Amino acid sequence: MGELDPQVLAIVAVAAAGLSVVTLFIALLVGLRLRRVRRELRDALGGEGASVVDALGRHGGQIDDLRRDVLDLDTRADELRGLLRGTVSKVGLVRYDAFEDMGGALSFSAALLDEQGDGVVVSAINGRTETRCYAKPIERAGSDSNLSGEESAAIDAALSGRSASSPPPSGRRRRRAAS
């Protein structure tokens, strides 16, 4: 067997030593990274001795609790929607001068309706010496009672969500359609 040149042997030894230093540096970096990953995993799992299975079971239980809470909130929201359907949610107001010699639009008709158009229209007619108030029931945006033009305008304003500032032309009356 032939002898190796001492110069080649020295180069191989220096290269091996350099390669082992690089390998040691990489091993240290990997060790530090692994330590940090283990710490993060321990924190995520909830402390020492916890397993991934335990953590997943705990999280699954929390998700079930959240699902139950969302269903309860949805049921409660449906109940509240039902309650709100019967409350006054549409308001229309028309102010006007009931008499030619009176100014300032002191008379008014106000419609107070729910989502289905049921409710009441209230009118106050102001004169020089007296004020008269009238209330008429409203069902499905109509009434069995004769409605004045101002009352009809107040109902229309409530249903459309706009503000009616002036009354419609006189002579317009609304009655509920015969069923």
Looking at the structure, do residues 71 and 111 belong to the same domain, yes or no? no
Is 123 among the domain residues?
yes
Looking at the structure, do residues 19 and 72 belong to the same domain, yes or no? yes
Please report which helix (H) or strand (E) contains residue 57, including its range.
Answer: helix 52-85
The pLDDT of 30-56, averaged and rounded, is 82
Looking at the structure, do residues 58 and 103 belong to the same domain, yes or no? no
* DSSP tag of 88: -
Is 41 among the domain residues?
yes
Please report, to the nearest 10 degrees, the dihedral formed by the alpha carbons of residues 152, 153, 155, 160 taken in order.
140
How many Cβ atoms are within 10 Å of 64's Cβ, its own excluded?
Answer: 10
Judged against a pLDDT cut of 80, whether residue 12 lies above it is answered with yes
Looking at the structure, do residues 39 and 107 belong to the same domain, yes or no? no
- Over residues 71-97, the pLDDT tens digits come to 999 999 999 988 888 899 899 999 998
Query: 0.75 exceeded by the pTM?
Result: no
Looking at the structure, do residues 111 and 127 belong to the same domain, yes or no? yes
Is 25 among the domain residues?
yes
Q: For residue 112, give its domain range.
A: 90-160
| From 1-5, 20-24, 46-50, 117-121, the region with the lowest mean pLDDT | 46-50
Please report which helix (H) or strand (E) contains residue 40, including its range.
Answer: helix 6-45
Looking at the structure, do residues 103 and 129 belong to the same domain, yes or no? yes
Residue 85 three-state SS: helix
Judged against a pLDDT cut of 80, whether residue 49 lies above it is answered with no
Looking at the structure, do residues 96 and 29 belong to the same domain, yes or no? no
Query: Which of 50, 83, 116 marks a domain boundary?
Result: 83
pLDDT for residue 172: 43
Average pLDDT, the chain: 85
pLDDT for residue 2: 67
- Over residues 90-119, the pLDDT tens digits come to 999 999 988 877 778 889 999 999 988 999
Residue 145, CA atoms < 13 Å, CB-side half-sphere: 14
Is 131 among the domain residues?
yes
Looking at the structure, do residues 15 and 33 belong to the same domain, yes or no? yes
The pLDDT of 10-32, averaged and rounded, is 95
Cβ burial of 152 (10 Å; 0-12, 13-18, 19+) is buried
- Over residues 123-175, the pLDDT tens digits come to 999 988 889 999 999 999 888 889 999 999 999 999 998 766 655 545 444 44
Is 168 among the domain residues?
no
Is 175 among the domain residues?
no
CB 138 within 8 A of CB 114: no
Cβ burial of 154 (10 Å; 0-12, 13-18, 19+) is buried
Is 170 among the domain residues?
no
